[in-house]
Amino acid sequence: MVKLGNELLGIDLKTISGFSEIKKISRVPCCPPHIPGQINYHGKIITLVDMSPVFKLKTSKNYNGSKVIIVNLEEGEAGVLVDDVEDVIYLKNGDISTSLSPLNLINDSFQKGTVHYKNRMLTLVDLERVLLFGNLSVNDEV
- For each of the domains in the chain, give its residue range(s) and CATH number, in order of start: 2-133 (2.40.50.180)
Residues 19-33: pLDDT tens digits?
998 888 999 888 888
What value does the mean pLDDT of the chain take?
83
Poorest-confidence range of 8-12, 56-60, 109-113?
A: 56-60
Alpha-carbon gap, residue 1 to 13, rounded angstroms: 9
| Torsion angle, alpha carbons of 35, 113, 102, 79, to 10 | -10
Left (φ > 0), alpha (ψ -120 to 50) or beta: where does 104 sit? beta
User: Are 85 and 69 within 8 A, CB to CB?
Assistant: yes
Cα–Cα distance list, 47 to 33, 88, 123, 125, 140 (Å):
13, 24, 25, 20, 15
Question: What's the pLDDT band for 74 if we cut at 50, 70, 90?
Answer: confident
- Residue 140 pLDDT > 60: no
The set of residues, in sequence order, having a beta carbon less than 8 Å from that of 39 and lying 6+ positions away, is 20, 22, 23, 24, 25, 26, 45, 46, 48, 68, 79
Would you say how long the chain is, in residues?
142
Question: What's the pLDDT band for 91 if we cut at 50, 70, 90?
Answer: confident
pLDDT at 60: 63
pLDDT at 142: 41
Alpha-carbon gap, residue 130 to 141, rounded angstroms: 21
- Residue 101 pLDDT > 80: no
Query: What is the reported pTM?
Result: 0.83
Average pLDDT, integer, range 107-129: 85
Query: Strand, helix or coil at 95?
Result: helix
pLDDT at 137: 64
